[in-house]
Amino acid sequence: RQSMEVCNQFVADFEKVIKKPKKHLSKTYYTGVDLGTACVVLAILDENYQPVAGAYRYADVVRDGMVVDYIGAVELVRELKEELEQKLGTELIYAAASLPPGTDELDGGAIKNVVQSAGFELTNLLDEPTAANQLLNVTDGAVVDIGGGTTGISILENGQVIKVADEATGGTHLSLVIAGAYKFSFEAAEKYKRNQKNHDELLTVLKPVIEKISSIIIQQTQGYNVEGIYLVGGTACLKNIETIIEKVTGIPTYKPTNPMFVTPLGIALSC
């Protein structure tokens, strides 16, 4: 519980510096680069590992950890890097990045090349749940990262990740359901879904997909002693998603105030 409060404060500080970067002298800066299916996030920490700036952009350059538009990804990371360098009045050198669990053999090289080609020196490449846990500090339980394309589940025991799984259901599927139900284009459905004002109304339409995500969690945690589920990832921003997941799984479910920035900040902390 206490670590959730620390996590929430850290994310709140990050949200503030996204709007208004903290321009002060730091010997060095650490950048977390989160190349997601729906969103690319850069989180900048100072020498004391405190948030000083950040930026994010919705983009279609990576799908489930696979770089599908290499040039586009490099340009976007470089653009965000330059934007933040200008705001901070300094050069950003060191960066860490992450991958969905189990994809390192497939695409670890491409992610690494994107970050390096954008002008960073890559200091660490770790899997997403391990990154998120740098901030969550879960010692026993399951970190569930509900992103755009997939839901990643990692089970921790005594602070060690003992199992990881990544299943193909995430925010994209929710948007497809909204597009079908409201006769919206996919883009319009995405936008509608991200507006918190629509969340109460959307929950009824989205309940079956959230139940499906819950059944994936049940399947993947079966046989393990999971006493708590910790939600991260952009899709976990959906209001009351935790209530449905807790009800279906029967496992106490916690989520930070803004679950979308936990992984990028965790990546930066690992830099």
Q: Does 194 bind ligand ATP (CB under 6 A)?
A: yes
| Least distance in angstroms from the C-beta of 171 to ligand ATP | 2
Strands (E), 5-117: 30-35, 39-45, 51-58, 62-63, 66-67, 94-99
Q: Does 21 bind ligand ATP (CB under 6 A)?
A: no
Cβ-proximal residues to 107 (8 Å cutoff; 6+ apart), any chain? 65, 66, 67, 99
Q: Both tokens of residue 61?
A: 């350059």
- Strand arrangement of the beta sheet that strand 229-232 belongs to: 160-167, 151-157, 141-146, 229-232, 253-254
Which positions from 104 through 143 interact with ligand ATP, judged by CB under 6 A?
none
The torsion of the CA quartet 212, 216, 218, 223, rounded to 10 degrees, works out to 160
Among 101, 234, 256, 266, binds ligand ATP (CB under 6 A): 234
Which positions from 59 through 88 interact with ligand ATP, judged by CB under 6 A?
64-65
Q: Does 172 bind ligand ATP (CB under 6 A)?
A: yes
Q: How far apart are CA 125 and CA 271, in angstroms?
A: 9
> Could you tell me how many residues make up the chain?
271
- The one-letter amino acid at 179: A
Among 37, 130, 154, 270, binds ligand ATP (CB under 6 A): 37
Of 153-161, 190-198, 218-226, 249-257, the window that binds ligand ATP (rule: CB under 6 A) is 190-198
Q: How far apart are CA 46 and CA 184, in angstroms?
A: 42
Among 101, 129, 148, 256, binds ligand ATP (CB under 6 A): 148
Residue with smaller CB distance to ligand ATP, 163 or 191? 191
Of 24-32, 91-99, 146-154, 222-230, the window that binds ligand ATP (rule: CB under 6 A) is 146-154
Of 105-113, 170-178, 179-187, 220-228, the window that binds ligand ATP (rule: CB under 6 A) is 170-178
Among 11, 39, 44, 136, binds ligand ATP (CB under 6 A): 39
Are 41 and 77 a contacting pair, CB within 8 Å?
A: no
Q: How far apart are CA 204 and CA 200, in angstroms?
A: 8
| Least distance in angstroms from the C-beta of 147 to ligand ATP | 2
Q: Comparing C-alpha atoms, which of 118, 74, 70, 73 is closest to residue 92?
A: 118
Q: Which residues of the shown chain bind ligand ATP in the complex (CB under 6 A)? A: 36-39, 64-65, 100, 147-150, 170-172, 190, 193-194, 233-235, 237-238, 260
